[in-house]
Structure 1
Amino acid sequence: MRTLPSARKKARRLLVQALYQWQLAGGGPVAIEAQFRADNDMTKVDGDYFRDLLHGILDAADTLDAAYSPYLDRRIEELDPVSRALLRMGTYELLHRIDVPYRVAINEAVNLAKAYGPEEAHRYVNGVLDKVAAANRPLEIATAR
């Protein structure tokens, strides 16, 4: 069964909220997922995608941070929590979800940065993820041009 793009968009929105919560309060992926499923209407959300990204990102947070940190102009600890969550999400999709086109992964993170991040966060997220994509999906980028 094909998933609607809007269902994944909603999954990403909830994911960023879950990552934000995790960064501030901690907790394991199972507990965070259970809380978000209990607190949110998941009927129009791609729940499998939410679960895959949440568990994958929390399990690989240090690896994801290492993948995007060379492209930062500051230390990771100095990033605001929303931008950090978005960079982790975008980097995870670029590295582990090859079924998601690189442009979609970047654009979804940028759009969420516009909605939830501090001023100009969308430009920062775009610049960093563009470099992550160039380093990890060069063939896809070359083919798209």
Structure 2
Amino acid sequence: MSEEQSPSASARPPRQQRAGNTATGARKAASKSNRSRAREFALQALYQHIVGRNDATAIDMFTRDLAGFHKADTAHYDALLHGCITTEADLDALILPKLDRQMSEISPIEHAVMWIGAYEFLHCPDVPWRVVLNECIELAKEFGGTDGHKYVNAVLNGLAPSLRSAEVTADKGKKAAD
């Protein structure tokens, strides 16, 4: 122990890692589900679409060759990639009113994560709204800017009541009863 450390700092126990998380709080690869992996690959592909305006087929071919793709839920990946690209104008129309700035000022990563969240709210009723929200926050934490996950959380939390109204109302009613 160096003499420069204060006594209170040396008395503090070392920071412990939560099981399944990296030092930044993101989930470790081994603890990710096939759908979580599909979202990660879809995010990378959507980033290519937003930034490079690359063709969906070319992006898809490139992404399927990436290491670890075989562990992803390919059906969910396909739905996210092609669904988000074909409905991007509709997704942007839903997201834009929830933003406090222009869409062009949003990071392409956060933009793609919001597309994934809005798309899943609309087209994946088998995925609970809180799971969609949590998965998107995790994506933004792992791939986005420092506080990008907070922005994604705010936007998707704003969208959920209108896109999954019955589910959100039932969930909030359940919490109030507890």
Question: For the superposition of Structure 1 and Structure 2, which TM-score range results when normalised by the shorter chain?
Answer: over 0.9
- 1:34 shift after superposition: 1.1
How far apart, CA to CA, are the structure 2 residues paired with 1:117 and 1:108? 13
Following superposition, which runs of at least 4 residues in structure 1 exceed 6 angstroms of deviation? none
Query: 1:35-74 maps to which residues of 2 (within 5 A)?
Result: 35-74=62-101
- 1:28 shift after superposition: 2.2
Unaligned regions of 5+ residues in structure 2, if any? 1-31, 173-178
- Mapped pair 1:27 → 2:54: yes
How far apart, CA to CA, are the structure 2 residues paired with 1:49 and 1:74? 30
- 1:39 shift after superposition: 2.8
Q: Relative contact order (alpha carbons < 8 A, sep ≥ 6): 1 or 2 greater? A: 1
Q: Tell me the alpha carbon deviations over residues 85-128 of structure 1, each in whole angstroms, 9 at most, x when there is no partner.
A: 11111111011111111101111010111111111111110010
Paired residue type of 2:147: E
- Mapped pair 1:112 → 2:139: yes
Q: CA RMSD in A?
A: 1.1
**Larger displacement relative to structure 2 (36-45 or 134-143):** 36-45
Higher helix share: 1
How far apart, CA to CA, are the structure 2 residues paired with 1:77 and 1:96? 25
How far apart, CA to CA, are the structure 2 residues paired with 1:26 and 1:136? 28
Unaligned regions of 5+ residues in structure 1, if any? none
Larger radius of gyration: 2
- Mapped pair 1:87 → 2:87: no
- In the alignment, which of 167, 173, 176 is matched to residue 140 of structure 1? 167
Percent of matched pairs sharing the same residue: 38
Paired residue type of 1:90: G
Paired residue type of 1:51: D
TM-score by length of 2: 0.76
Paired residue type of 2:167: E
Aligned residue for 2:126, secondary structure, equals coil
Aligned residue for 1:43, secondary structure, equals helix
Is the CA contact (8 Å cut-off) linking 2:122 and 2:163 kept in structure 1? yes
Paired residue type of 2:108: P
Is the CA contact (8 Å cut-off) linking 2:161 and 2:169 kept in structure 1? no
Aligned residue for 1:39, secondary structure, equals coil
How far apart, CA to CA, are the structure 2 residues paired with 1:78 and 1:52? 27
